[in-house]
């Protein structure tokens, strides 16, 4: 199978399973990948997702060009059909953690940029190298990279196509954690379980307020955050959280 899908408690683990092809996505695994993200989004029992690659060499290097035939449709048909790119399928308010085990190149880095936490092995390498082959990081790289790291460093990566190692990625804030290869999944799972133990609606609201508020004027983003707080005020989970705190026990959140 090109993609492995597992579930541990409230955590979904998605593994790109084509190590022989640097975990690049061929047409078959791409369609499988889309279906898995739909399951993650719609399954209310899943609260957090971890995305990683099989092996220690590569997280993902984007599209498998050797197995992807040239498009037969015109550009307008491809561009306007939202079912084509993978990124729209990853758009959700459930948190996504990237456990980056090796090369995150091209579309692989663009998928990692769509994740909320990026945890990387010390063996990881990052780059948007499309300009070297007369192309463009066309999924979200040109927009999301300058939002994730300082503008000047993002422009250097985009215009030169040069790659950076995990130490540099950590220094510039592209990744949140830098770990030994053997510890990667355990650290990712630690964060996933910690997030999943929190109230699901509150976690989604926090992500939504942060993501949507980022591009709003400050006073508007604050107002939106206040609105989200008001929406959460009367939920069953908020009452459970206060009750559990008073009773000095772990809360049992149900997402309502």
- What is the predicted pLDDT for the residue at 125? 97
pLDDT bin (cut points 50, 70, 90) of residue 67 is: low
Say if residue 85's pLDDT is above 90.
no
CATH class of 3-196: alpha beta
> Which token pair is 79?
């561009």
With tokens 């307008």, the residue in question is 76
Who contacts 54 (Cβ-Cβ below 8 Å, separation ≥6)? 4, 15, 16, 17, 18, 19, 23
Q: What percent of the chain has pLDDT over 70?
A: 91
Specify the domain boundaries for CATH 1.10.12 within the chain.
200-246
**CA dist 198 → 47, 69, 195, 206 (Å):** 9, 44, 5, 11
Q: Are strands 125-127 and 103-105 parallel, antiparallel or unpaired?
A: parallel
Mean pLDDT of the chain: 92
Say if residues 101 and 187 touch (Cβ distance below 8 Å): no
Taking each helix axis from N to C end, the angle separating 200-213 and 236-246, rounded to the nearest 10 degrees, works out to: 120
Say if residues 82 and 34 touch (Cβ distance below 8 Å): no
Q: Report the pLDDT averaged over residues 169-197.
A: 97
Within a 10 A sphere around the Cβ of 117, how many other Cβ atoms?
18
Q: For residue 163, with 0-12 CB atoms within 10 Å meaning exposed, 13-18 middle and 19 or more buried, which class applies? A: middle
Active-site residues: which are they?
110, 130
* Cα–Cα–Cα angle for 130, 96, 81, rounded to 5 degrees: 55
Q: Report the pLDDT averaged over residues 69-93.
A: 70
pLDDT bin (cut points 50, 70, 90) of residue 75 is: low
Say if residue 204's pLDDT is above 80.
yes
Q: What is the CATH number of domain 200-246?
A: 1.10.12
- What is the predicted pLDDT for the residue at 27? 85
Who contacts 90 (Cβ-Cβ below 8 Å, separation ≥6)? 37, 96, 111, 114, 115
Specify the domain boundaries for CATH 3.90.226.10 within the chain.
3-196
Q: Report the pLDDT averaged over residues 21-33.
A: 89
pLDDT per residue as tens digits for the range 114-173:
999 999 999 999 999 999 988 888 888 999 999 999 999 999 999 999 999 999 999 999
Say if residue 79's pLDDT is above 70.
no
> Which token pair is 40?
């993650």
């Amino acid at each position: 199978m090109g993609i492995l899908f597992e579930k541990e408690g409230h955590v979904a683990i998605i593994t790109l399973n084509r190590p022989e092809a640097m975990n690049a996505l061929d047409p078959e695994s791409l369609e499988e990948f889309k279906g898995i993200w739909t399951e993650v989004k719609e399954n209310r029992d899943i609260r957090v997702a971890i995305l990683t690659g099989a092996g220690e060499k590569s997280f993902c290097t984007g599209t498998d060009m050797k197995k992807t035939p040239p498009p037969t449709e015109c550009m307008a048909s491809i561009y306007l059909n939202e079912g084509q790119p993978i990124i729209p399928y990853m758009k959700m308010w459930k948190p996504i953690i990237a456990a980056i085990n090796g090369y995150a190149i091209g579309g692989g880095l663009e998928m990692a940029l769509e994740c909320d936490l990026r945890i990387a092995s010390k063996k990881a390498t990052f780059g948007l190298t499309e300009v070297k082959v007369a192309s463009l990081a066309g999924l979200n790289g040109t927009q999301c990279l300058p939002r994730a790291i300082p503008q000047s460093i993002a422009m250097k990566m985009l215009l030169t196509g040069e790659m950076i190692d995990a130490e540099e990625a950590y220094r510039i804030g592209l990744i949140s954690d830098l770990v030994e290869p053997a510890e990667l999944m355990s650290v990712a799972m630690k964060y996933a379980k910690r997030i999943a133990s929190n109230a699901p609606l509150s976690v989604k609201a926090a992500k939504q307020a942060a993501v949507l508020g980022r591009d709003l004027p400050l006073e508007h983003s604050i107002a939106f955050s206040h609105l989200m707080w008001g929406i959460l005020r009367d939920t069953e989970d908020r009452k459970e959280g206060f009750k559990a705190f008073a009773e000095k026990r772990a809360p049992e959140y149900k997402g309502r």
